[in-house]
Chains A and B, each alone.
Chain A
Amino acid sequence: MATINDSIRVDRRTALKWVLAASAALQLPAGTTLAQGTAKSATGYGKDPNLLKIYQVGELWPLTLNEHQRATATVLSDLIIPADDESPAASKVGVVDFIDEWISAPYPNNQSDKSVVVPGLAWLDQESQRRFKNNFAALMEKERVAICDDISAAKPAAQFEQAAKFFARYRALTAGGYYTTPVGMKDLRYVGNVAMTTYDGPPPEVLKKLGLA
């Protein structure tokens, strides 16, 4: 492949063709065993999972949230990342599925998040009942905001300390789930993960902005 001086973006399909060409040149003998793969497991996906497979939520371990919990989670995720002019709300790109996958995984940090998220979702309902005589998912927008303002405050009141910990963790999970999707990456104006023939460094307008031109 010759190096071309001007930057030409190669589309992903072309790049994948290069990848396939590289592997076609390769002859594997019969009986070669590569990735072992992993069945649904209570102990995780193991040390040698198939790295090329595209995984679906729920195929590796059983999920946790029931319909009611999912409804609460959907409302909360979409309150944290709502739709705007540029991108859809969190639940539209599978964030609730991801959170369910996350808290259901058998690894210690996931189990520890489960013990924050499940009681946290229940607390939202209790607090909604206490203040507004309804479940969180059934509240009006301004009622939800009233609760979330209390538990997302920089210095939450003493009675909201636990709930604030839940909210912060839930927000981190929501953001982690959202911004790692193609939609979320685009929202952050990430424009990589495409094959290029050259790397030319930052464009002039960037260097100018940084005082490096």
Chain B
Amino acid sequence: MPLIDTAGLQKEYDVIVVGSGAAGGQTAYTLTLDGAKVLMLEAGRNYVPEIETPMFHTPDQAPLRGTSTLDKEFGFYDATIDGGWQIPGEPYSSASTDADRQFWWWRARMLGGRTNHWGRISLRNGPYDFKPKSRDGLGFDWPISYEDVAPYYDKVEMLVGIHGDNNGLENTPDSPTGCLLPPPKPRAGEALIQKHAKKTGVPVIPVHRAVLTQQLDFKRIPALLHPGNPRAQQIVADSMRSRAPCFWATDCGRGCSIKANYQSTTVHLPPAMASGNLDILPNAMVREVEMGKNGRATGVVFIDKTTGKEVRAKGRIIVLAASACETVRILLNSKSTQFPQGLANSSGKVGKYLMDTVGASVSGQIPLLEDVPPHNEDGAGGMHVYAPWWLYKEQLAGKLDFARGYHIEIGAGRDMPTFGGASGLANHVGGYGKKFKQDMRRYYGSFVSLVCRGEMIPNEDSYCEIDPNKKDQYGIPTLRFHWQWSEHEKRQALHSHQAFTEIIQNMGGRVTSKQDLLPGGFIIHEVGGAIMGSNPKSSVVNQWGQTWDVKNLFLTDGAPFPSNADKNPTLTIMALAWRSADYMLAALKRKEL
């Protein structure tokens, strides 16, 4: 992708977008295809999935059989580069030394950000998820409802390509006809779980994931996405035509060189670039947003990592889409006489109500799955089925001791053997010699895992702030995290253990391991920190992601989420970014901004 360096910067842009992931990608896509001139700043290097993705590589071709190390925390072939929970020269800190109160901050300093490696699970928030406080009195309602966001979910699903189907289940929205691609069939172990989970009352249905199970309908969709804009339609049709459908091999976490799954770098950025309206500047580490005398933001200050120099860029609208915590950090570091406690922070709420997802799991060994006839179960590079939360009515009736739900992610199948899988299996079977080899064959593929991904309720004790004592290698003050799970999350994790144990036993299996509630940040679903609301005193942005204090400053990543449904946040981030960008375009046309 042809990018610019600082010498190529225009004098002023309509919009500056900080970040190039799901939020930045979607924002820039919507804006540029409608004619706005956009500068995108990315803190990491250029990254080109088409030529950098290790498709088909086997673990023996990697150092250490591809296992995770401090350098590549999700394994050697994970798409994340220059990222992870620890990045040299870019520290963060924790206010507590208590292990339960740490927050682990995952970053990906690369074009496309975390969209390059994510799980591609793309679930819509349901109607309850936008009005949680109205339902149980806890946390915050969104200032918008499902109906406000639904048209944008439709558009994102059609643009990105999501497989799945409609099951009409409570708070698990169906998509209109023509939005989804056909779901892949369940793998053997997944189908077995589907059958036996019924006894526990758990519905197992096709998951929605951002993988092309067939080519996108480039003749039909572009006109629906960009009515009255033939040039955008042509660009999007060309982009869709360039993406191949999944060839049912290679883990999606490596990225995808044939562009069969969603990455900002293969789906959002190419059409935005083709519009001729987007400049992308990599290696630009944004420090702060600058303010003019009129109370409007005028641009951003960043460190050009290639020279170490401080550089300024100017724009009529500034969008922070840097990921929830990085966006908060930029706001808090943008201090002025008007905003001594950080930009857009007259409410004092910037940094507050940080949330992640509840993560816990149970694994089991299933005798029925031993010695299954060999067959290829690589599939769509991730799970094919999952279980949405199934106890909404019981919860509402007060029959459970925690307020919010979780969905179940399912792991089963004859995946490509990994070092961790094979060594763990060796510990399980024990012994040595020819019998050991026979046992390895017998037990390989006979394990399943059931994983809880649950809603966390925002609380006063989970937030981030600027650490007064620390700066990163670019001289930018760093974040300090405070974290506290409430009893709701802890009980939810325990509930999942009981349900998962029962399902494994239903299958005639035996539980082999349990993972308790993981630390904050481990699921990498952090949202909040600059929540949206209908009152400037208690929220940072309005329903458009527009900050109450600065009219031409918008946040389009997860920072504005006032709740964090069990549904993985990326699809909602994209839908809301599209909606915000539409609002910006209308305001630009009205000359309001």
Which residues from chain A sit less than 8 Å from chain B, CB to CB?
A: 1, 3, 10, 12, 15-16, 18-19, 22-23, 25-29, 32-35, 44-49, 51-52, 54-55, 60, 79-82, 84, 86-87, 94, 98, 101-102, 105, 107-108, 110, 148, 152, 154, 168, 171-182, 184-185, 187-203, 205-207, 209-212
Contact = CB atoms under 8 A, between A and B. Distances in A.
Given A26-B1, A179-B440, 8 more contacts: A44-B71, A49-B76, A55-B62, A84-B434, A105-B64, A177-B419, A182-B60, A190-B444
A14 B84 CA distance: 34
A46 B71 contact: yes
Given A148-B432, A154-B430, A180-B60, A210 B188 contact: yes
A207 B53 contact: no
B60 A202 contact: no
Nearest to B380: A199
Contacts of A205: 373
Interface of B: 1-3, 45-48, 50-67, 69-72, 76-77, 81-84, 87-88, 184-188, 191-192, 195, 213-215, 242, 244-250, 254, 257-259, 368-369, 372-380, 414-427, 430-434, 436-437, 440-441, 444-445
Contacts of B244: 1, 18, 22
Contacts of B376: 191-192, 194, 196
A117 to B, nearest CB: 13
A149 to B, nearest CB: 9
Nearest to B4: A29
Given A105-B64, A199-B185, A181 B58 contact: yes
Contact of B249 (A27, A29, A35, A195): A195
Contacts of A206: 188, 372-373, 375
Most buried by A among B422, B444, B445: B422
Contacts of B188: 202, 206-207, 210, 212
Given A47-B88, A107-B70, A196-B249, A25 B416 contact: no
Contact of B441 (A10, A176, A187): A187
B531 to A, nearest CB: 32
Contacts of B72: 45, 47, 49
Nearest to A178: B422
Nearest to A174: B426
Pick from A98, A188, A200 the residue with the most CB of B within 10 Å: A188
24 contacts: A19-B258, A22-B50, A26-B48, A33-B46, A45-B71, A47-B88, A48-B45, A51-B254, A54-B61, A60-B63, A81-B432, A98-B60, A105-B69, A107-B71, A176-B65, A179-B444, A180-B419, A188-B440, A188-B444, A191-B375, A192-B376, A199-B185, A202-B187, A210-B192
Given A22-B50, A180-B59, A173 B423 contact: yes
Contacts of B192: 210, 212
Contacts of B54: 51-52
Contact of A51 (B53, B65, B375, B437): B53
Which of A10, A98, A176, A206 has the most C-beta atoms of chain B within 10 angstroms of its own C-beta?
A176
B444 to A, nearest CB: 4
Nearest to B443: A188
A147 to B, nearest CB: 11
A175 B247 contact: no
B437 A180 contact: no
Contacts of A81: 432, 436-437
A178 B60 CA distance: 9
B42 to A, nearest CB: 14
Q: By CB atoms of chain A within 10 A, which of B3, B60, B374, B417 has the most?
A: B60
Main secondary structure of the interface of B (DSSP, over half): loop
Contacts of A12: 56
A185 B375 contact: no
A165 B58 CA distance: 29
Contacts of B82: 47-48
Contact of A82 (B81, B415, B417, B433): B433
Contact of A152 (B83, B373, B419, B432): B432
Nearest to B189: A210
A189 B433 contact: no
Nearest to B191: A212
Contacts of A108: 70
The 9 closest A-B pairs by CB, nearest first: A201-B185, A175-B426, A172-B423, A176-B423, A189-B374, A179-B422, A192-B378, A195-B247, A180-B59
Contacts of A3: 214-215, 245
A161 B77 CA distance: 36
Contact of B414 (A87, A173, A190, A197): A190
Contacts of A27: 2
A186 to B, nearest CB: 10
Contact of B77 (A51, A79, A181, A212): A51
A37 to B, nearest CB: 12
Contacts of A98: 60, 65
Nearest to B88: A47
**Which of B53, B81, B254, B426 counts the most A-chain CB atoms under 10 A from its CB?**
B426
Given A84-B437, A110-B64, A191-B374, A19 B420 contact: no
Contacts of B415: 192
